[in-house]
Structure formats: C-alpha cells, structure tokens
Amino acid sequence: MAKKRKKMRPTRRRRVGAAGGGLIMDVLGITAGAIVARKVDSFLPNLNPTIRNAAKVAVGVALPKFVKNPMIKAVGDGMIAVGGAGLVGGLVPALGATDEVLVISGADEINEVNGIDEIGQADINEVNGIDELSEEM
C-alpha cells in the first residue's frame, strides 16, 4: 500500500511596514494633480479666478469618472484640493489667506538679531534681542 500524501499548507506572506506601494502612488498622484491644477492658471489667464478654481474642482471630480485608474483618481483628488482651497480663498478671504507672510512678534524691530549692530561690531548680547539695559533689571 502506498503512503498517503500530506496536505500542503499554503505559506502566508505578511508585509511589514505602514507605507505600502499604494500609499506612495497616491501621494505621487495627488502631487501631480496639484501641479496640473496650478498650471491651469497659465492656460486660462483671462477667466475670473473663482471660475478657474471651480473648473479645477469640476475636472478633479469628473476625471476618475472617465478613466478608471487609482492613479488618475489621486490626480483628481489633488486637483480638487487645490481648486477647493482657491475657491474657498476667493469666496471667504479670511479662510484662504495663504500668501501672507507671518512676522514673529518684535523680530522686525530688532536690527541686531544676527549679532551684528549697525556699525558692524559683533555684539553677542544682542543675538537674542536682549540689550544691556534689560540685563540689569
């Protein structure tokens, strides 16, 4: 009598790590969509910015409907993000103020932040904005 064969168990392969290939491709697709959405402004310079931003959102929504690909869906998501942020900024300026430059409080009043005063002398006490008078107190 012949020996009975044992049943082979399939080996399970497990992935280690949080960032899979899909995550990296999504990030690249969203970045590409954001770049494409920014370039739309140069193609349509004469349109109202609100209409341009609405068009970016509309193309971002419609793109995955026509092309069934996860990468194209990520590109559409990037276009929606850029267009939506521009649309909100155009309709509600307080929420979309992204081009403002923030100044640290008091840093613009101190000429000696880098440690060199107007004469060109290095003065280490003034690197952090403290002069000799405030050290005495």
From the list 106, 107, 87, the residue with the least C-alpha distance to 95 is: 87
> Quick one: average pLDDT of 49-78?
91
In a domain, 47, yes or no: yes
25 and 83 share one domain: yes
Report CA dihedral (101, 103, 109, 113) to the nearest 10 degrees: -110
pLDDT at 121: 58
CA angle, residues 125, 132, 128, in degrees to nearest 5: 35
> Quick one: average pLDDT of 48-64?
91
pLDDT at 31 over 90: yes
CA angle, residues 66, 57, 48, in degrees to nearest 5: 130
**Confidence band (pLDDT; 50, 70, 90) for 75?**
very high
- Give 22's contacts (C-beta < 8 A, 6+ positions apart): 70
29 and 56 share one domain: yes
82 and 57 share one domain: yes
Q: What is the C-alpha to C-alpha distance for residues 98 and 42, in angstroms, rounded to an integer?
A: 19
**Domains of the chain: total:** 2
pLDDT at 97 over 80: no
> Quick one: average pLDDT of 16-32?
79
**Confidence band (pLDDT; 50, 70, 90) for 20?**
low
86 and 130 share one domain: no
84 and 134 share one domain: no
Least confident among 7-11, 17-21, 71-75: 17-21
